[in-house]
Amino acid sequence: MQKNINKLLSFFFIFIFLINCNKIDVIKPTPEKPYVYVPKPTKIEIVADLSKIEPWQNLLLIANVFDSLGNRMLNQVITWNSSDSLIARINQNGLVTSNLLGEVVINARCESIFTSYNLSVKNNNAITISKIVLLDSLGEGAETTVTLNPRNPLNISASANWTNYSSFDGGRSWNKNNFGTDGQAMADPNVNFTQDGVLLRQAMSWAPSPRGIVIQKSTDGGMTFPMSQAYWAYKPENGKGNADQGFMTVKGLM
């Protein structure tokens, strides 16, 4: 009788163990090796001090990975991504860099397990004074205009006499182009992006004289203004005109 009871209890415990095997990670047993627990990621928790930051601020996110028994697993590979890298981007070390105002979802994945973190990029004050960026120390950067690329709001173009500046990271860093006098959009400039992201720069030029108006085109966000894309909008004959500063408008832009 006792043997039957022992057999029944043994069967019962094996049955319960097999049921629980669906909830934990195991290695299939062999006569030489019994069941062995092998931890696998089952949960990710993101740790952060803030859920709201301002543009141009950084935030470090830490992803803690846990197994099915609630034990923290160290040295796990985390893959990070952002739902909108224009608003805020994240590198594979978990460092968030914000760019524009808005809401963004940061995702962390470890093998087949993933979780999300909601982040807001907002101004803490109703009025925010942005950082001052010195583009040039020569003192010649007058007659300026600034425009944003509608296809990429992190692409900014700023015009000035004899020069044009372009940024592709929202104003953190800038490239510079210099313009000559003969047939180039040089002095008293203004810039506008088209809806297709083409940058147009209009300015006075000499050919060699009198002054006329030239429009130059850049299809790479202001990195280059090839002379093959320079067009005279107004080129007076000698003694019949001497243009001054003008402003252009681009159809479809407000």
Rounded CA separation 199/149 (Å)? 8
Question: What are the domain boundaries of the chain?
Answer: 43-121, 145-234
pLDDT of residue 207: 72
pLDDT of residue 216: 94
pLDDT of residue 84: 95
SS in 3 state form for 160-193? ECCEEEEECCCCCCCEEEECCCECCCCEEEEEEE
CA distances from 217 to 160, 197, 232 (A): 16, 11, 12
- Which residue's entry shows tokens 């147009």? 200
pTM across the whole model: 0.69
Class of domain 43-121: mainly beta
pLDDT of residue 124: 76
Report the alpha-carbon angle 94-98-99, nearest 5: 145
Rounded CA separation 190/157 (Å)? 10
The encoded tokens of residue 28 equal: 């299939």
pLDDT of residue 130: 63
Q: Which segments in the chain show pLDDT lower than 50?
A: 9, 11-24, 254
